[in-house]
Amino acid sequence: MKKQFFSALLCGAVVLSAGTFVSCENQYDELSSRVTVLEGYISEIKAQLGKALMTGASITSATQDAKGNWTFVLSDGQTVVINAATGGGAGGGSSVTVTQGEGNFTITVDGESYTIPTGASVNSLVYVPEYVDGKVLLGNDGAKVRFLATPAVDVANAQFDIAVAEQLQTRASSLIKVESAVAENGYVVLTLKGLAVQAGKSYVVVVSMTSGGTIITSDAFTVEVASEFSFESEALAAAEFADGVQVTEIGTGEYSVLIPNSAVTFVAGFNLKDYYKNLPEGNVAFQLAPADKQNAAVQGKYDLLSRSLASDGKFEFAERPGSDFYDQEKNGILIYMTVNDVIKNKVYWKIDNPVPGLDLPGAYFSNDFAKGAPHMEWGYFEGDNEGGKYLKPGDVISFAEIFIDWENQMGLRHGDGANQTCQSWGEGKMEAYVGEEQLFYTDVDAKKVVLGDYGKALTGNGKYGKGFWWKSTQPSVLSSNRRNWGMSEEEMKAIAQGECNGEIIQGWDGISGEDLAALGVQFDETGYLRLTDAYTGVGLRLGLGVRWQDAYGDYTLVDWHIAYVFFNRRVCAPGTVDVQKR
More confident residue, 31 or 389: 389
102 and 9 assigned to the same domain: yes
270 and 307 assigned to the same domain: yes
pLDDT classification of 511: cutoffs 50, 70, 90: very high
Q: Which of 139, 126, 80, 136 is nearest to 107 (CA)?
A: 80
Distance separating alpha carbons of residues 479 and 502, to the nearest angstrom: 5
**pLDDT at residue 18, as a whole number:** 33
3-state secondary structure 242-306: CCCCEEEEEECCEEEEECCCHHHHHHHCEEHHHHEECCCCCCEEEEECCHHHCCHHHHHCHHHHH
Question: What average pLDDT does this structure show over 543-551?
Answer: 91
Point out the domain boundary residue: 117, 146, 166.
117
| 146, 187 contact by CB (below 8 A) | yes
Distance separating alpha carbons of residues 224 and 137, to the nearest angstrom: 5
H/E segment holding residue 509: strand 504-509
As a whole-number percent, the residues of the chain with pLDDT over 70 amount to: 84
**pLDDT at residue 561, as a whole number:** 79
184 and 212 assigned to the same domain: yes
Inside any domain, residue 357: no
Least trusted range by pLDDT, from 284-293, 362-371, 421-430: 362-371
**pLDDT at residue 10, as a whole number:** 31
- Give yes or no for residue 11 having a pLDDT over 80: no
Inside any domain, residue 230: no
**pLDDT at residue 394, as a whole number:** 97
132 and 107 assigned to the same domain: no
Inside any domain, residue 582: no
- Give yes or no for residue 463 having a pLDDT over 90: yes
Point out the domain boundary residue: 182, 198, 225.
225
DSSP state of 313: S
138 and 96 assigned to the same domain: no
- Give yes or no for residue 101 having a pLDDT over 90: no
43 and 141 assigned to the same domain: no
Distance separating alpha carbons of residues 547 and 525, to the nearest angstrom: 10
Q: For 113-131, write each residue's pLDDT tens digit.
A: 888 877 655 568 899 998 8
More confident residue, 2 or 522: 522
**pLDDT at residue 368, as a whole number:** 45
321 and 442 assigned to the same domain: no
Q: For 405-431, write each residue's pLDDT tens digit.
A: 999 999 889 888 888 888 889 988 888
Inside any domain, residue 449: yes
- Give yes or no for residue 484 having a pLDDT over 90: no
Distance separating alpha carbons of residues 344 and 462, to the nearest angstrom: 37
Q: For 162-218, write each residue's pLDDT tens digit.
A: 877 764 344 455 788 898 999 998 899 999 988 878 888 998 898 988 776 567 788
Write the CB contacts of 43 (distance below 8 Å, at least 6 apart in sequence). none
Domain count along the chain: 4
- CA distances for 205 relative to 145, 177, 208, angstroms: 11, 11, 10
pLDDT classification of 258: cutoffs 50, 70, 90: very high
- Give yes or no for residue 518 having a pLDDT over 90: yes
| 108, 96 contact by CB (below 8 A) | yes
Structural domain of 85:
2-117
Distance separating alpha carbons of residues 6 and 88, to the nearest angstrom: 7
149 and 209 assigned to the same domain: yes
Under DSSP, is residue 240 helix (H, G, I), strand (E, B) or coil?
strand
Q: Which of 155, 62, 160 is nearest to 106 (CA)?
A: 62
- Give yes or no for residue 577 having a pLDDT over 80: yes
Predicted TM-score (pTM) of this structure: 0.65
Write the CB contacts of 36 (distance below 8 Å, at least 6 apart in sequence). none
Least trusted range by pLDDT, from 174-178, 212-216, 237-241, 397-401: 212-216
H/E segment holding residue 496: helix 489-496
CATH number for the domain harbouring residue 185? 2.60.40.10
101 and 189 assigned to the same domain: no
As a whole-number percent, the residues of the chain with pLDDT over 90 amount to: 45
Handedness of CA 120, 126, 127, 131 (dihedral sign): negative
Question: What average pLDDT does this structure show over 315-330?
Answer: 93
- Let me know the angle formed at the C-alpha of 67 by 64 and 71, rounded to the nearest 5 degrees: 30
**pLDDT at residue 94, as a whole number:** 59
Distance separating alpha carbons of residues 475 and 565, to the nearest angstrom: 10
Inside any domain, residue 99: yes
Mean pLDDT over all residues of the chain?
A: 83
H/E segment holding residue 51: helix 28-55
**pLDDT at residue 218, as a whole number:** 87
Distance separating alpha carbons of residues 357 and 135, to the nearest angstrom: 56
- Give yes or no for residue 370 having a pLDDT over 80: no
519 and 372 assigned to the same domain: yes
Residue 373: Cβ within 10 Å count = 20
Inside any domain, residue 579: no
Point out the domain boundary residue: 201, 225, 249.
225
- CA distances for 405 relative to 418, 451, 563, angstroms: 14, 20, 15
| Main-chain dihedrals φ then ψ at residue 193, nearest 5 degrees | -125, 130
440 and 382 assigned to the same domain: yes
Distance separating alpha carbons of residues 430 and 451, to the nearest angstrom: 12
**pLDDT at residue 232, as a whole number:** 79
Inside any domain, residue 580: no
| 365, 442 contact by CB (below 8 A) | no
Inside any domain, residue 98: yes
399 and 284 assigned to the same domain: no
Least trusted range by pLDDT, from 90-94, 323-327, 538-542: 90-94
More confident residue, 56 or 302: 302
Four-CA torsion 410, 415, 417, 419, nearest 10 degrees: 40
- Give yes or no for residue 6 having a pLDDT over 70: no
- Give yes or no for residue 366 having a pLDDT over 80: no
- Give yes or no for residue 85 having a pLDDT over 80: no
Question: What average pLDDT does this structure show over 362-368?
Answer: 41
Write the CB contacts of 278 (distance below 8 Å, at least 6 apart in sequence). 240
Four-CA torsion 89, 90, 94, 99, nearest 10 degrees: 90
**Edge-first strand listing for the sheet containing 448-451:** 432-434, 437-443, 448-451
